[in-house]
Amino acid sequence: MDALQSILPVLSRGEWMVHGLIFAANIILFFLARPILNLIEPTAKNSSKVKIFQALNVLVFVLHAIDLVLLGSNAQYQQYFIKLGYSLMLIYGTLLLYSLLCALSKRRFGKVKELDDKKFYIESYSSRLVELVLLVIIVLSVIYALVVIWEAQNMFTGIYAASAAFLAFTSSIWAPDIISGLIILNTEILEDGDVVVIDGHKNEYVISRVTLIYVVLYDIRNNNRTLMRNSQFTQNRIDNLSRVASTNGIRQGIVYKIGYPQFSGHRDDRLTQLAEFRKTIDGMFDDAYAACCENENIKVNSNKSFEWAMTNAGDYALEYTLWIYLERIPNSKVTSTLRRHLMGTIYKINEAVYIASIAHNVDLSTPDVHQVTMNTTEPIIAAAPVSTTPDQSPLNRA
Taking only the tens place, the pLDDT of each residue in 162-176 is 888 988 898 888 899
- Evaluate whether 82 touches 67 at the Cβ level (below 8 Å): yes
Average pLDDT of the segment spanning 317-321: 93
Q: With 80 as the cut, is the pLDDT of residue 28 above it? A: yes
pLDDT of residue 163: 84
pLDDT of residue 352: 96
Q: pLDDT higher for 370 or 68?
A: 68
Closest CA to 72 of 140, 127, 10: 10
Q: With 80 as the cut, is the pLDDT of residue 107 above it? A: yes
* C-alpha 354: how far from chain center: 34
- Evaluate whether 214 touches 177 at the Cβ level (below 8 Å): yes
**Alpha helix locations (H) across 261-324?**
267-294
pLDDT of residue 278: 94
Q: Which helix (H) or strand (E) holds 214?
A: strand 214-219
Q: pLDDT higher for 397 or 127?
A: 127
* C-alpha 170: how far from chain center: 27
Burial 224-258 (b: 16+ CB within 10 A, else e): eeeebbbbebbeeebeebbeeeeeebbebeeebbb
Identify the band that residue 34 occupies on the pLDDT scale cut at 50, 70 and 90. confident
Q: With 90 as the cut, is the pLDDT of residue 204 above it? A: yes
Q: With 50 as the cut, is the pLDDT of residue 151 above it? A: yes
SS3 state at 302: coil
Average pLDDT of the segment spanning 97-115: 88
pLDDT of residue 197: 94
167-175, long-range: CB within 8 Å, 24+ apart, which pairs? Answer: 174/213
Q: Annotate 134-169 with three-state secondary structure.
A: HHHHHHHHHHHHHHHHCCCHHHHHHHHHHHHHHHHH
Q: With 50 as the cut, is the pLDDT of residue 391 above it? A: no
Average pLDDT of the segment spanning 218-227: 94
What are the residues whose beta carbons fall under 8 Å from the beta carbon of 261, sequence distance 6 or more? 273, 274, 277
pLDDT of residue 78: 61
Mean pLDDT taken over the chain: 84
Q: With 60 as the cut, is the pLDDT of residue 374 above it? A: no
End-to-end Cα, the chain, rounded Å: 107
